[in-house]
Amino acid sequence: MVRAGIALGSNLGDRISNLRAARDLLRKLTPGDSAYIQAPIYCSCPVNCPADSPDFFNTVVEINYNGTPAQLLEQTQAIEVQLGRIPNTPPNSPRIIDLDILYFGEHITDADNLLIPHPRMTQRRFVLQPLSDIRPSMTLPGDFISVLGHLRSLTPDVAPLRLVEADW
């Protein structure tokens, strides 16, 4: 069993309800009474999205998982479809739910459809802020800087976040 971090984002519909539904489905992937951690929800401006895209609500959850990275990817993609995400839309389109695997224990995966740790997470405040709320001292596999260190190193031009809900 490994600890897996998953980023959740939503910028369509009832964003908090979308995140709650995804969280609840992710928790069903964990064995028994496994330890589960969730970060606060933050609001962020869309990054590399079409003009006039709504703001995102973002958070991170960490679960125990008993399977492979590929199996977790398959299950997170199934959750996205179950919650109404339309497959094969253009990249960065507005979406009801987006689930990205950030890390999977100490695994490093470099496959066509899956890169772990997530390759851009250390440049994204909307990932680093909630992750630092639950795992500030964690160092990702293949890295030597903590999550909090990466967050502090972001340039001021990376848009700040607004706390939406601390306990959801």
What pLDDT score was predicted for residue 158?
66
Tokens of 1: 């069993």
Q: What is the DSSP string of 70-139?
A: HHHHHHHHHHHHHTTPPTTPPTT---S-EEEEEEETT--EEETTEEES-TTGGG-HHHHHHHHHH-TT-B
More confident of the two residues 157 and 20: 20
β-pairing, 41-44 vs 56-65, is antiparallel
Nearest to 103 by CA among 155, 168, 37: 37
Under the banding of pLDDT at 50, 70 and 90, the label for residue 104 is very high
Q: How far apart are alpha carbons 29 and 61 in whole angstroms?
A: 12
DSSP 3-state assignment of 18? Answer: helix
Q: Counting Cβ atoms within 10 Å, is residue 11 exposed (0-12), middle (13-18) or buried (19+)?
A: buried
Instruction: Measure CA of the first residue to CA of the last residue in the chain; give whole Å.
Output: 26
Q: What is the mean pLDDT of the chain?
A: 92
- Please give the Cα distance from 83 to 81 (Å, whole number): 5
Q: Which CATH class is domain 2-165?
A: alpha beta
Taking only the tens place, the pLDDT of each residue in 57-99 is: 999 999 999 999 999 999 999 999 999 998 888 878 899 999 9
Per-residue pLDDT at 33: 74
pTM reported for the whole predicted model: 0.94
- What distance in Å separates the CA atoms of residue 28 and residue 99, rounded to the nearest whole number? 15
The 10s digit of each residue's pLDDT in 132-167 is 999 999 999 999 999 999 999 998 776 789 999 999
